[in-house]
């Protein structure tokens, strides 16, 4: 339940800090006093869109904060999932709005996204404003009422998951059909392109090897001359470097005994000589390999021309990429050949999913049908005492194409008169009748939904007298059933039934117009109800009527 509301610098409110009570409370005040401002502030806490124009003129920031007691409700999972400290006895929601348009949201002093704030807010407070009566014209609202009464969340979730899988498979099947049509139309061209690459007998790294061999064959005489010259300089019998180094080694070895310091140099020189001999041998082997072969060069150039042509044709830069294209074409051909089998498998899967989804939809229909009969009986019992004695209320379920919420089309049918045919409630009910229907629906489903706080914004529109009192009794009953119910009202019959009474006032000051809210004492409450009864001039008779009304209601 909402324990405390703090508002600072929000539109006409300088600062407001007020506590709220359990059970059924009422808020009164003249039109334009600022009741809608307070509702707007609460809506911001619940995640509605912010506007920097909502900041009080001349201020840079507004703050709205609320304290909730959630100790009687199961909210721990939300806080665990969002890594927020859970303080059930004092859960704090805060929203800050700056004049630069930036908005920040906090839950228990932890910064959170607006979506997280909205998710929690929807589970904490339901603000029923007059425009919500339009929901009666929406089929999804009526279906949601049935689902709440049926308490079928697990079954609805199971159905929705099955339906989503079915639609996903259906989409895959249609995509595969379209793909196969395109691929079969292009099959001859695809096969031609595949065989064109296949004839080249490509292998990874082939292009680099051919290009290197082509370079060697094209420059064979130049290469052989350079190798011969280098090998000759190393291995010439008389003046070659290898022979000369051998002589140098022998010279050093001859003085090792008398000059030991040269031993290390001699060993190094001897090692270098061995390395040079190996190099000379390797150069000689290279010369044996180099042999100009015009036929081989022609064959290499033919293969390279084929590779270059294929690369240009397929817009790639290497043999490896050509091999990737070849594999893609092979896969397309395989898909064409096995396409019918794949289609049949996917169609079988889709048929099985359709059967399962229909079974789950039928189970939902059965549960909703039972809930519909309950709603019909409950609504008749609730609406008759509210001044509609001849009410007829029916819930019709008709089949529809399966969608994410099932295969049921729902319509609430209504008639306030014996001889008038029933029609959709949103089309035939008057404003006062719609208010009573919505209150009855909210009262009926409030026990099913674990919503801590419900705020009714002038739910009493279009009613008065005893009917208003009976509506107040319904709200009082809801407030006594572990719900905090707050009603914004202009009717004394409703105001008198609240366990707590708050008043919203507007005052003009030298600094501008200000709106404030306060809880009324017993005497102030009598005066407020007297004013609601008689208008601006409060007479003694009006005061006595207010006392009598409060006393009578307290005895109920």
pLDDT interval class at 535 (50, 70, 90): confident
pLDDT interval class at 143 (50, 70, 90): very high
The overall average pLDDT reported for the chain is 87
> Among 289-293, 341-345, 410-414, which range has the highest average pLDDT?
410-414
Packing angle between helix 187-199 and helix 153-185, nearest 10 degrees? 70
> Among 142-151, 192-201, 281-290, 478-487, which range has the highest average pLDDT?
142-151
Question: What pLDDT score does 31 carry?
Answer: 82
Residue 483: name the closest of 451, 448, 442, 444 by CA: 451
Handedness of CA 97, 98, 99, 102 (dihedral sign): negative
Radius of gyration, alpha carbons of the chain? 45
Question: What pLDDT score does 324 carry?
Answer: 92
* Per-residue model confidence as pLDDT tens digits over 92-115: 999 999 988 899 999 999 999 999
Give the single-character DSSP code of 113. -
Pairing mode of beta strands 110-112, 103-107:
antiparallel
- pLDDT above 60 for 448: yes
**Residues 495, 524 contacting (CB under 8 angstroms):** no
pLDDT interval class at 131 (50, 70, 90): low
How far is the C-alpha of 403 from the C-alpha of 406, rounded, in Å?
5
- Taking residues 515-544, report their average pLDDT: 88
Helices within 499-554 (DSSP H only): 522-534, 540-554
How far is the C-alpha of 173 from the C-alpha of 350, rounded, in Å?
8
**Worst-scoring range by mean pLDDT, 68-72, 291-295, 499-503?**
291-295
- Taking residues 46-75, report their average pLDDT: 90
- Taking residues 17-41, report their average pLDDT: 90
Percent of residues, the chain, with pLDDT higher than 70: 96
In a 3-state reduction of DSSP, which class is residue 500? Answer: strand
**Residues 248, 269 contacting (CB under 8 angstroms):** yes
- Which 3-state string (H, E, C) describes 415-461? ECCCCCCCEEHHHHCCHHHHHHHHHHHHHHHHCCCCCCEEEEECCCC
Question: What pLDDT score does 133 carry?
Answer: 60
* Per-residue model confidence as pLDDT tens digits over 387-398: 899 999 999 999
Query: What's phi and psi for 309, nearest 5 deg?
Result: -65, -45
- Taking residues 350-373, report their average pLDDT: 96
Tokens of 249: 């080694």
How far is the C-alpha of 143 from the C-alpha of 476, rounded, in Å?
27
Question: What pLDDT score does 426 carry?
Answer: 83
- pLDDT above 90 for 232: no
Tokens of 268: 């190094």
How far is the C-alpha of 3 from the C-alpha of 21, rounded, in Å?
7
**Residues 525, 553 contacting (CB under 8 angstroms):** no
Q: What residue has token string 């009324």?
A: 520
- Taking residues 397-405, report their average pLDDT: 94
pLDDT interval class at 134 (50, 70, 90): low
Residue 98 buriedness (CB in 10 A; 0-12 / 13-18 / 19+): middle
- Taking residues 196-211, report their average pLDDT: 87
Question: What pLDDT score does 132 carry?
Answer: 64
Spatial neighbors of 283 by CB under 8 A, at least 6 apart, are: 227, 230, 231, 234
Handedness of CA 277, 281, 286, 288 (dihedral sign): positive
- The DSSP annotation for 275-314 comes to HHHHHHHHHHHHHHH----HHHHHHHHHHHHHHHHHHHHT
How far is the C-alpha of 535 from the C-alpha of 542, rounded, in Å?
9
**Worst-scoring range by mean pLDDT, 36-50, 51-65, 205-219, 240-254?**
205-219
Residue 376 buriedness (CB in 10 A; 0-12 / 13-18 / 19+): middle
Question: What pLDDT score does 556 carry?
Answer: 54
Half-sphere exposure of 524 (CA within 13 A, CB side): 11
Residue 439: name the closest of 394, 386, 391 by CA: 386
Question: What pLDDT score does 291 carry?
Answer: 67
- Between 419 and 405, the more confident residue is 405
Handedness of CA 500, 505, 509, 514 (dihedral sign): positive
- Taking residues 547-551, report their average pLDDT: 87
How far is the C-alpha of 108 from the C-alpha of 106, rounded, in Å?
6
In a 3-state reduction of DSSP, which class is residue 419? Answer: coil
How far is the C-alpha of 113 from the C-alpha of 81, rounded, in Å?
13
* Per-residue model confidence as pLDDT tens digits over 308-348: 899 898 998 888 999 999 898 888 877 777 767 888 889 99
Question: What pLDDT score does 130 carry?
Answer: 66
Residue 535: name the closest of 481, 492, 493, 478 by CA: 492
* Per-residue model confidence as pLDDT tens digits over 488-508: 998 999 999 999 999 999 887
Question: What pLDDT score does 502 carry?
Answer: 95
pLDDT interval class at 463 (50, 70, 90): confident
**Residues 394, 422 contacting (CB under 8 angstroms):** yes
**Residues 395, 410 contacting (CB under 8 angstroms):** yes
- pLDDT above 60 for 368: yes
- Taking residues 248-262, report their average pLDDT: 86
- Taking residues 189-209, report their average pLDDT: 85
**Residues 444, 149 contacting (CB under 8 angstroms):** yes
């Amino acid at each position: 339940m909402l324990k405390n509301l703090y508002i600072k610098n929000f539109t006409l409110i300088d600062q407001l800090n007020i506590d709220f009570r359990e059970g059924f409370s009422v808020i009164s005040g003249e039109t334009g006093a600022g009741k809608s401002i307070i509702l707007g502030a609460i809506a911001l806490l619940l995640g509605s869109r912010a506007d920097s124009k909502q900041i009080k003129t001349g201020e840079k920031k507004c703050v709205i904060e609320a304290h909730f007691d959630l100790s009687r409700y199961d909210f721990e999972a939300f806080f665990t999932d969002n890594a927020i400290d859970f303080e059930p006895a004092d859960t704090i929601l805060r929203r800050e709005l700056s004049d630069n348009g930036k908005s920040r949201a906090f839950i228990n002093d932890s910064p959170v996204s607006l979506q997280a704030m909205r998710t929690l807010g929807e589970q904490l407070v339901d603000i029923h404003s007059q425009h919500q009566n339009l929901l009666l014209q929406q089929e999804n609202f009526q279906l949601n009422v049935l689902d709440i009464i049926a308490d079928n969340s697990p079954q609805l979730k199971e159905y929705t998951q099955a339906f989503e899988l079915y639609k996903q498979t259906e989409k895959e099947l249609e995509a595969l059909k379209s793909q196969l049509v395109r691929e079969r139309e292009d099959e001859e061209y695809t096969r031609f392109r595949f065989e064109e690459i296949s004839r080249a007998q490509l292998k990874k790294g082939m292009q680099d090897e051919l290009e290197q061999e082509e370079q060697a064959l094209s420059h064979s005489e130049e290469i052989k001359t350079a190798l011969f010259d280098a090998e000759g300089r190393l291995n010439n019998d008389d003046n070659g470097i290898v022979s000369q180094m051998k002589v140098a080694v022998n010279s050093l070895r001859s003085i090792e005994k008398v000059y030991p310091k040269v031993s290390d140099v001699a060993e190094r020189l001897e090692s270098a000589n061995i390395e040079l001999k190996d190099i000379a041998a390797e150069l000689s082997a290279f010369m044996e390999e180099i042999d100009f072969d015009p036929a081989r060069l022609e064959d290499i150039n033919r293969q390279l021309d084929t590779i270059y042509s294929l690369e240009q044709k397929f817009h790639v830069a290497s043999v490896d990429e050509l091999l990737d294209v070849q594999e893609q074409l092979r896969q397309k051909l395989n898909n064409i050949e096995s396409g019918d089998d794949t289609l049949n498998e996917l169609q079988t899967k889709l048929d099985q999913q359709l059967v399962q989804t229909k079974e789950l939809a039928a189970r939902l229909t059965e549960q909703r049908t039972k809930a519909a009969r309950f709603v019909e009986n409950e609504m008749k019992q609730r609406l008759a005492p509210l001044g509609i004695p001849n009410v007829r209320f029916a819930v019709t379920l008709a089949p529809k194409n399966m969608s994410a919420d099932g295969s049921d089309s729902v319509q609430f049918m209504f008639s306030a008169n014996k001889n008038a045919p029933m029609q959709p409630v949103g089309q035939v009910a008057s404003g006062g009748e719609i208010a009573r229907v919505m209150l009855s629906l909210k009262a009926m489903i409030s026990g099913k939904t674990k919503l801590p706080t419900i705020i009714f914004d002038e739910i009493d529109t279009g009613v008065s007298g005893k009917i208003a009192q009976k509506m107040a009794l319904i709200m009082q009953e809801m407030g006594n059933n572990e719900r905090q119910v707050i009603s914004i009202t202009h009717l004394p019959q409703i105001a008198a039934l609240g366990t707590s009474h708050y008043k919203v006032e507007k005052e003009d000051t030298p600094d501008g117009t200000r709106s404030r809210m306060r809880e009324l004492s017993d005497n102030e409450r009598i005066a407020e109800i007297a004013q609601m009864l008689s208008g601006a001039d409060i007479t003694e008779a009006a005061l006595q009527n207010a006392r009598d009304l409060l006393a009578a209601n307290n005895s109920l």
